[in-house]
Amino acid sequence: MIDLLKKEDMVLENIKLDIEDGIAMVVMNRPEAMNALNNNTLQELEQIIELVKMDKNVYGMIITGEGKAFVAGADIAQMKDYKAEEGRNYAEFAQSIFNKIEDLGKPVIAAVNGYALGGGCELSMSCDIRIASDKAVFGQPEVNLGVIPCFGGTQRLSRLVGTGIAKELIFTGRMVKADEACSMGLVNKVVPLEELVNQSLDMMKMIVAKAPMAVKYSKISINQGFDMDLRKALELEKDLAALTFASDDKDEGMNAFLEKRNANFKNC
């Protein structure tokens, strides 16, 4: 477990971090390498996730990229000499970080500005919501390198778009532009590049203005319930609903509704 860090104590070489109004803006910042994910970048991302997780004054996170790429993949120069054990360890390391994003009790938006290929597509899929610019391109081209997607791609892609489309994209390595990605359910919406950050911020501000416990438990219910049979998932939903009914946020939200005023939740 990484010790609790403060933003000012972190040394970030490959990622930029800005926190304003309770929203962490994370910018992948290796434009000369198309923001490829090497070990150092993954370690920095892990530190940021831990910071966002533990900091009660951070309510949501947006991830985007500098330059033409969101993240154009894993670092091939780093991987080219890996054999079975090193490859498995690298996959395990990256998966553990992306799992932390998926399990984070706070909302995460991927603001996909450009190329989201390989590990970049997988990073975006670990986020709760994907907003793509009209310049974004998605794909899992690992078969061109003689390997398979291993940062979660074979699993998350099939869950988002269905096994048939996932197999097509992974087997062929075909890249898809933002509009096609949206039509297949890989992204939530497509916006002009120049509006990407502002629209992502607008959506995140809308989310963090809601009851934080309700957002957190909605995320848990969706993520965990997806792999359960329906009856067990409904039991999970009831248990989590009970926790929200016992919260101060429920009292505030319902009183505000009846009093015809805006709710003032604790994290807002």
Give the active site residues: 122, 142
Q: Buried b vs exposed e over 157-191: b needs ≥16 C-beta within 10 Å?
A: bbebbeeebbeebbeeeebbebeebbebebbeebb
Q: In sequence order, what are the residues at sequence separation of 6 or more whose Cβ sits closer than 8 angstroms to the Cβ of residue 79?
A: 87, 90
Residue 32 buriedness (CB in 10 A; 0-12 / 13-18 / 19+):
exposed
Side chain identity at residue 268, one-letter code: C
What's the rounded Cα separation, in Å, for the pair 105 and 217?
Answer: 8
How far out from the chain centre does Cα 197 lie? 15
Q: Buried b vs exposed e over 209-245: b needs ≥16 C-beta within 10 Å?
A: bbbbbbbbbbbbbeeebeeeeeeebeebbeebeeebe
Consecutive H or E run containing 137: strand 137-139
In the structure encoding, which two tokens stand for residue 101, read together? 């994003």
What's the rounded Cα separation, in Å, for the pair 268 and 206?
Answer: 11
What's the rounded Cα separation, in Å, for the pair 214 and 207?
Answer: 10
